[in-house]
Structure 1
Amino acid sequence: MTTHLPDSPVGQQTMTRVTRRLIPFLVLLYFVNYLDRVNISFAGPNGMNEDLAMSAKMFGFASGIFFIGYFLLEVPSNIALHKFGGRRWLARIMLTWGIISTAIAFVPNAETLIVLRFLLGVAEAGFFPGVILYLTFWFPEKQRSKAISLFMVAVPVSTAIGSTLSSLIIDWGHGLFGLDGWRVMFLIEGVPAVFLAFFCWFYLTDRPAEATWLDDDEKNWLETILGYERSVAETGQSWPLRKALSHPRILLLAFVYFGITYGLYAVGFFLPTIIAGFQEQYGTHLSVIERGLVTSVPYVVAAIVMVPWARHSDRTGERVWHVAIPAIVGGVSIPIALYMTNPYLAMVAVTLSTCSVMCALPVFWSLPSKFLTGLAAAGGIALINSIGNLSGFSGPYITGWLTGLTGNAKLALWVVGVLSLAAAAVVVYLGVKPRSETEAPA
């Protein structure tokens, strides 16, 4: 039985092989996924808004409408993944989103762009919570935050590399195929998802028992550990799907996720525009490529710090404050950026805020997976993600609306700070609130 202990040699060997097999490929998928989601932020200030006659409010709406389609199909999509398996369902998601993302290159007007952004959300619904659910099939609770953080490194990496890559394509690709630079960017960045969909079908494995790339001892160890954790989670809890879709604790976790990601999307979609405005505000001048490089800085730093933070949470077993502290730091730092007297100090504040969000998110996703299993996990994780990701609609839209209303982004960024602090308060409340034996822990 000693070979089935979490820290046994066979356990360490198994998790090393699982990590090396799955995480790099999932990171690649999320890199392409997230880039296709946010590359509109680079297109906007580099020709798209002008060509399609889009105001800041309309740009925010087009950026955020993606998440309405995402919201509507999230839970059904994750239930389908639970039924059909990650290999088939993730491949389906990638194929449809790749086709729609590529089609955005040919939009004739703002209305068509808005329709395709909505359909992109419908096509992509279930990808992120599907991968989070998929990781629970392979990683025991003790290693889960680290695994999720390694997977989510794709967010800052895709933004860091993607900001420069997108800027280069826009700048150098102008005129290719007779298209404007921003259209070439959508075309080139949408195609990889289509190719990766076919690779996904043959590469991923649905469950450890089916993994031909693990030997029998490794499969038995992993199945035993995960089976034991499922039995512990189900003992005294027995969460059916209906409970996972309606329990107040799930809804509060959704609010926490909303508050944290609101800042990620509000700043993420408008950061290229904010940096473009440095010329007027601070008297600086940056080329398209230089703006892309500056945009990447906060995300490069975030990619470096988020994995050690998640590893520390796994090592100590503490989750609540590993979410709350970054949320507090992010809530304070983003409004501070409003009062910086030069662009360098402003970027320090934005970088600190970005790092805080990216540190909080991987640890956050270890909270629901502690007490949700099976179909309840599929539905509950998807519900949290779908409600939380409404911030992806409201963040860009409200930021654009308030910016247009007031003439600057100050009030909009104060909203970001308040919501982040509120998220921190709620997750602490969930952590200290007395619970009955039948109620799930935070």
Structure 2
Amino acid sequence: MATSNKEMEETEDNTELDPRIQIELENLNTATDDINKLEIELEEANSTFRILMNESTRRLKLSSKKLGSCIEKARPYYEALEKAKVAQLECQAATLKYQRANEIHAAAKETVALAEQRFMSNSHEWQFDNAWQEMLNHATIKVMDAEKQKAESGAEHQKKAKVFEEAEKKVQQLEERYRRSIQKSRPYFDEKQLCQEQLEAQKGRIQQLEQQIQAAKSAYSTALRNLEKISEEIHEQRGDLSQAAPSGPREPGVGAELANILPTASSTTASSNSSNNLHKVPGKDRFPYSSTMPDISSELDKCEIRSVGSASVATSSAVSEKDPSEEDDYSTMTLHDDEDDLPAAVAAAAASSTVDQDDDLHLELLRQKVRTLAVRPVEGGDGQQQEQDVWEHELNATVDKLDHLMMLRECSRSSTLMSGAATSPPGGDVCEANGDAALASKLKRKMSM
């Protein structure tokens, strides 16, 4: 009985948990909680970024349509102004660098002068030995290095100052040339700058969360590796290596993923095989990381209107209008002065072709705009009443313009048919326009409910 009791006591001592296991398990649980919490925050941050991007593009598109072509005319000025600001910051940095180099050079010269003065004043008491010579040489070398750095900083400062002066001159020239367009388009570029700052701040928050998630995953993987090492040590102490965990890669657990973190390699073969395996960490890569996020500046530039021929077409999903200062009066279109010399039949044919081409182009633009406005609330505003009123007003104006254009076109073709010209009936276009108008009316009724 005494022998069996001793064996039971030894078994209990062997089965007692290593205190390191409890520590690593706590680290594992802490890392898991951090990963889950940070990924929730990352999801919210990405959602906020998308909302900000949609809202920014919506506001910029609306502002771009109101201002028209003056944005394109004023663009070189604002680009030059941005370059001038960057050049000014670089010039200020070069100035500070030159000032520091000048101060270091003056201090080094003063040190050498004081050392020489003290030695000369006490030359009858001190002896010029090797230590004094070495100290003086070291101070002289510092003076020479400081003088070299001062010369380089001065040259760099002059270069940056020249670049800044040229940038300022270009800004003044562009301001004198496009003064009216610059003043008119200033609200757009101010709004764009504000949107860009907000998006950059949110993007920085996303990048910070991603780094914290990677750090938490690294801590999780480290805890797993430490637990594996502790387990192997315990099996070695017990002498039952046959019951140790099988070598080779682990199978991913339920809800686990592979971390993109390679553990450090060990000197032994067993630890090397274990370290080559990627450890599993909780969570899933549900969110786009900042490396795949869109470029903010290019996305905001897509909101601007690009002029092509006589029409202005937006590079994004929305299709823009003409400059609001230009009235679309289709009933007052006339021929150019150089067509007066043509025969009457040729002039009439040219006029009909020109009017038809312009009408087709404007009709297609208006149709696309009706479709764009039909889906605009889904693209993302926050549903505020003021923005909804602006959208409804713009949709009503577009539908009215489309109806007016279709009526003018139908009247023109009817008169052409009565005069004997062979033209195709506009029934298909009328049906399509009525379909677009019906879609817009249905959407307006839905929004008003």
Q: Structure 2-normalised TM-score?
A: 0.23
Q: Which one scores higher on RCO, CA 8 angstroms, separation ≥ 6?
A: 1
Query: Based on CA coordinates, which of the two structures has the bigger radius of gyration?
Result: 2
Which structure has more helix as a fraction of its residues? Answer: 1
Q: Structure 1-normalised TM-score?
A: 0.24
